[in-house]
Structure 1
Amino acid sequence: MSSAKSPIPMAAFAVATLAPLPLLALGGLTGGGWLWAALLYMGLLSILLDQLLPLVESDGPDGHEFPAADALLALLGLLALALPALAVHGATNPALSGPEKAALVFTTGLWLGQIAHPAAHELIHRARRAQVRLGVAVYAALLIGHHASSHRLVHHRFVATPDDPASAPKGRGFWRYLPRASIGGFIAGLRAETALRQRSTRPGLHPYLTYALLSLTALAMAATLGGPSGVAIWVLIALHAQLQIHLSDYVQHYGLTRAPLPDGRYEPVNTRHSWNTAHWFSSALLLNAPRHSDHHSHPSRPYPTLRLPDDAPHLPWPLPLAAAIALFPPLWRRLMKPHLARLAQEPPPPPSA
């Protein structure tokens, strides 16, 4: 298969991420084939297109402003805040059948976990306060507002070490990893934010209180739209999206570790500490999140310019397919074993200047 020689265009990011939303909107209002089309898009089409379209190996231009990229992030963030409300409305609509309601809830969770999450992740890494706040609002609406703290203050600092709840050691299956990733991430982020405030002369409102207030506002909206059933549906959608978030962290760091140094610290983060994929369509769908090594090296680099380092570990499957495999730990461990063994035999990259 030949490789594409140009970076992913902005139009591809926009089309890939936005295309499921009209299907979900129409399906939530009228049911029928729109919902099944949205489910097939999120569940199967991305995997199929990744097999048909060439891999992307080239890099986007660096050092440029990307107003279209920022506009897409803002649009995705705002749509992510509205979509759960639409799903609650549809799932409490007696005109929709039980299977249609299940498809609406499941597909909404997929979109929020696979597309809204990368968008919010990009936003919390931006310098502008308005963008960070939008990213926080998206996570809080998904009842995982603390991810904005644990990801930036804990994961990026301690990735690929035992101190990072989001990094899975070799051999640990996803379902054993999940409780520590979720509960441990909450606690680690709380400690990091509290420590920051203890050192500050103007600490302000604790972010965890902000996350709680935003999440309660989201649940109040769910109750207004659908009563107790609306709240239950919103929580179910949020939990499904959270599962996608934790699966992404699990897959992108499984079995990769930073070597301890004589002084007790760990070696600096390098390209060897994240798994990457080069598949064209899922890269567009996930806003280049599969180019994960470069993100850890340059957290503020805009997603259109993220690169695929030659010495970075590469998964043979698109990220959504890898996440699906990870749901079955024995299969995941068996398939990952040769890739970890090969990586262990390769020489480490030279230290960066």
Structure 2
Amino acid sequence: MPRSFLAFAVVTLLPLPLLLAGALFGGWAPWLALAYVTLVMAGIDEFQPALSYDGEAAEQDEADLLSQMLAGTHLVLLLITIWSLAGGGPGLFSLSGIALFLGAGLFFGQVSASNAASLVHRQEPQMRMLGKALYISLLSGHRATVEPYVHHVYVGTKHDPMTSHEGESLWQYLPRALLGGLRTAAKVEKHRRASSDLPIWHLSNPLLQYAGGAVTMLLAALLVAGPGGLVVFILLCAFAQLQMTIRDYVQHHGLTRALDANGQYVAVNATHSWNAPHWLSALWMLNATRHSDHHANPAGPYTQRAAPPRGEVPTLPHSLPVMAGIALHPPTWRKVMEPHLEAWRDA
């Protein structure tokens, strides 16, 4: 698949003018954006899942530039969407407003969330802070703690609330994952501060930053569009959080780490994540679909993530967004995924 700066930029930024036009003027523009990130993307991924590419992958500086562009665009789109859906534009209950809500919400839950998940692992404080800010803007600040300090440490074990169990439906998983994420974030930050002389109320406490950032965003929504803006913002955040949680459900479903002779979990490897080779959704989600490589090299440039061949790693039968949609209906999920899981284990 193409891995250049231009390829990632075109695929991720293409629907934004349509979404902004829809927020300001309504009409068919948001429907075109929604069709692109759903029907067009799923269709191309299904019929042309792989695309060869011989050029060099984008360097870290180029990847960082796009990450920063997407973060800035995220905030602008979020505020304009809140204003528009709260009554400044078409409104939430119009046809164009429904398309805007879904299209912008998919951008927040798939592009912005993928950007944040990559940035919170970075060594550079300013890039890590940018990832934290993205999560906070979607009322999910605790993920900046859970992602690097819980999920990447305990993935595939009972200690990771983001790992879904075999036979567990999405609707059984959701409350466990959401509440477990909050609990483990609080536990980790409490442990991290135990060795510090600073009081718990010091501003360096990430939990205070998450809470303060959430209050700031809620006030911003209120100032931008009044009480209606507050409602719209909460609904957009809930939609984005649902997508993040479904992605967690799909990408580790039923994959567990065995215990070694000493009773310790084996090290995380490429067999503990479901991957998807589909090139267009990979560009759209900043290679989050190449999930094994994300766990192996979380701080590396997302543009350079490797995609091991089918058979070497667990590989989803369809693209990640399509599998996320299937997960919403547990009987269909079981019909599609459980035989696939068994086949992988047999192989």
Q: Same fold (TM over 0.5)?
A: yes
Matches within 5 A, 1:8-19: 8-19=3-14
Q: Which residue of 2 aligns with 1:190?
A: 186
TM superposition shift of 1:305: 0.9
The answer to whether structure 1 residue 148 and structure 2 residue 114 are counterparts is: no
TM superposition shift of 1:247: 0.9
In the alignment, the residues of structure 2 paired with residue 162 and residue 279 of structure 1 have an alpha-carbon distance, to the nearest angstrom, of: 30
Secondary structure, counterpart of 2:161 in structure 1: coil
Say whether the 8 Å CA contact 1:60–1:304 is kept in structure 2. no
Q: Which residue of 2 aligns with 1:303?
A: 302
Q: Scaled by the length of structure 1, what TM-score is found?
A: 0.92
Query: Which has the larger displacement, 195-204 or 151-160?
Result: 195-204
Q: Scaled by the length of structure 2, what TM-score is found?
A: 0.93
In the alignment, the residues of structure 1 paired with residue 54 and residue 209 of structure 2 have an alpha-carbon distance, to the nearest angstrom, of: 38
Q: How many residues align?
A: 340
* Structure 1 letter corresponding to 2:264: R
Q: Which residue of 2 aligns with 1:88?
A: 82
* Structure 2 letter corresponding to 1:114: Q
Question: Any runs of at least 4 consecutive aligned residues in structure 1 with deviations exceeding 6 A, and if so which?
Answer: 57-60
TM superposition shift of 1:105: 1.6
Over the residues paired in the alignment, what is the CA RMSD in angstroms?
1.8
The answer to whether structure 1 residue 24 and structure 2 residue 19 are counterparts is: yes
In the alignment, the residues of structure 2 paired with residue 334 and residue 128 of structure 1 have an alpha-carbon distance, to the nearest angstrom, of: 44
The answer to whether structure 1 residue 163 and structure 2 residue 159 are counterparts is: yes
In the alignment, the residues of structure 2 paired with residue 22 and residue 52 of structure 1 have an alpha-carbon distance, to the nearest angstrom, of: 27
Q: Which residue of 2 aligns with 1:38?
A: 33
In the alignment, the residues of structure 1 paired with residue 49 and residue 344 of structure 2 have an alpha-carbon distance, to the nearest angstrom, of: 24
In the alignment, the residues of structure 2 paired with residue 134 and residue 343 of structure 1 have an alpha-carbon distance, to the nearest angstrom, of: 37
Matches within 5 A, 1:91-170: 91-93=85-87, 96=90, 98-170=94-166
Matches within 5 A, 1:219-234: 219-234=218-233
Secondary structure, counterpart of 2:274 in structure 1: coil
Change (3 A) 1:305 1:106: same
TM superposition shift of 1:99: 2.1
* Structure 1 letter corresponding to 2:29: W
* Structure 2 letter corresponding to 1:206: N
Say whether the 8 Å CA contact 1:60–1:305 is kept in structure 2. no
In the alignment, the residues of structure 1 paired with residue 268 and residue 232 of structure 2 have an alpha-carbon distance, to the nearest angstrom, of: 40
TM superposition shift of 1:8: 2.4
Structure 1, unaligned stretches of length 5 or more?
1-5, 347-353
TM superposition shift of 1:149: 0.3
* Structure 1 letter corresponding to 2:271: R
In the alignment, the residues of structure 1 paired with residue 220 and residue 339 of structure 2 have an alpha-carbon distance, to the nearest angstrom, of: 48
The answer to whether structure 1 residue 78 and structure 2 residue 79 are counterparts is: no
Match of 2:62 among 68, 71, 86: 68
Change (3 A) 1:95 1:194: closer
Say whether the 8 Å CA contact 2:22–2:28 is kept in structure 1. yes
Say whether the 8 Å CA contact 1:291–1:306 is kept in structure 2. yes
The answer to whether structure 1 residue 213 and structure 2 residue 207 are counterparts is: no
- In percent, how many aligned pairs have the same letter? 40
In the alignment, the residues of structure 1 paired with residue 217 and residue 24 of structure 2 have an alpha-carbon distance, to the nearest angstrom, of: 21
* Structure 1 letter corresponding to 2:224: L
TM superposition shift of 1:265: 2.0
In the alignment, the residues of structure 2 paired with residue 206 and residue 318 of structure 1 have an alpha-carbon distance, to the nearest angstrom, of: 38
* Structure 2 letter corresponding to 1:341: E
